[in-house]
Amino acid sequence: MGQGEESKADPEAPVEIQERGEIFFFYRPKVGKEEAHGAEEVQHLYIVLRPESGERPVEEKQHPASGKEGAKKKKTTKKKDGETSESSDSAASEGGHGSEKVNIEHQTLLRFIVMGRKSLPPPTQRGRPFWGYVEMVTTKIEDVKASLQGEEYDTSTRGRRHKPPARALGEGVYRILRHNPGRRMHTHLIYKLEFPPEGESGDPQETFNIKREGSFLIQIKNPEQPGSSQFRGLQSKRKATFPAHLQGQFGQRRFHPADPPDFLNYEGCEFLLIAASDDIEGELGVELRAEEGEPEPEPACSDLVKTFGETASIAPLLKGTWA
């Protein structure tokens, strides 16, 4: 599928493409559930963004020794006596910090995102913000695979527990764009699905408000400003520590557009999505196209399956059914 294509239906439309890439949706049933059949049985909704090009081919991301990205590396580094590094757990609980350059046209960059309400904002509730945060940033596909897998673990009160693997829910192409309609500039995250194929979307997609296409205002939260009664946000130690040149763009404001998209390359970056429209062309003058899937696509047609293997059940992805 790749990053798809876009064209300006209105040559005068006041939009600029900042970033292009692929978008993948997953959900995970609650602990102890083998399957989910409704929102009440879902633990998390995940979004994975894979940027592949943009107005700047080189983006800035957190240092690879920070956050979960760093913790995963430390866990694979054994001490001479065969024990795992003791600092891995503390690193996993801190936000992203530091700096590394990544050429997104030639290197893999993946953002693993958690949506707090376990849903995208519905188009009928324009103006209502939905909070989310970047759980992990990595250049390794295996890190995302590990985060999607299930696991068994022990607790002191409930004994052994089973966390089921995530389910693949949708895939398509996305853009982050700058929109300057004459008022204050803002940024949009827009997407268009390829899978499930047209006509195959079902109850899972409806439950999570994942339409065939969508447009959302995206605002980055200032990690140095307190949360609100509506969005308390992450604990301080889990929040991103942006480089000075990014942090300085906030000033004293609580939110800032996702300009540049590099903000999203830091674990612990918190953001708001606000429904704008489910008609991208009508709203922004941009037509976004993904490759058309086959009427009865095989798993091999899906970039999600190609990229992550069958780490997650693909029935919701291809047939629009719960799993």
User: pLDDT (tens digit, 9 = 90+) per residue, 154-172?
Assistant: 787 877 888 999 999 999 9
Question: 233: Cβ–Cβ under 8 A, 6 or more apart, which residues?
Answer: 131, 133, 221, 227, 239, 270
What pLDDT digit, counting tens, does each position of 191-247 carry?
999 999 888 889 999 999 999 999 999 999 999 998 877 778 899 999 999 999 999
Q: Which region holds residue 281: left if phi is over 0, alpha if psi is between -120 and 50, else beta?
A: alpha
123 membership: H or E segment, kind and range: none
pTM: 0.92
Mode of pairing for the β-strands spanning 129-138 and 270-277: antiparallel
- Distance between CA atoms of residues 149 and 62, nearest Å: 24
Q: Please list, in sequence order, all residues whose beta carbon lies within 8 angstroms of the beta carbon of residue 242, skipping any fewer than 6 positions away.
A: 223, 263, 266, 269
Summary mean pLDDT of the chain: 89
Each residue of 294-312: b (16+ CB within 10 Å) or e? eeebeeebbbbbebbeebb
Instruction: Tell me what pLDDT residue 86 has.
Output: 37
Q: Which two tokens stand for residue 217?
A: 């205002």
3-state secondary structure of 113: strand
What are the residue boundaries of the structural domains of the chain, listed by start? Answer: 5-319
Contacts 24+ apart (CB under 8 A), 34-38: 34/164, 35/164, 35/322, 35/323, 36/167, 36/322, 36/323, 37/322, 38/207, 38/322
Note the pLDDT of residue 85: 40
- pLDDT for res 76: 58
In angstroms, rounded to a whole number, what is the distance separating the alpha carbons of residues 103 and 9?
29
Query: Is the pLDDT at 91 greater than 60, yes or no?
Result: no
Note the pLDDT tens digit of each residue in 250-291.
999 999 999 999 999 999 999 999 999 778 898 899 999 886
Average pLDDT over residues 12-36: 95
pLDDT of residue 161: 83
Q: Among 69-83, 96-110, 304-318, which range has the highest average pLDDT?
A: 96-110
Tell me, rounded to whole angstroms, the distance of Cα 158 from its chain centroid. Answer: 31
pLDDT of residue 40: 95
Of 150, 199, 211, 162, residue with least CA distance to 25: 211
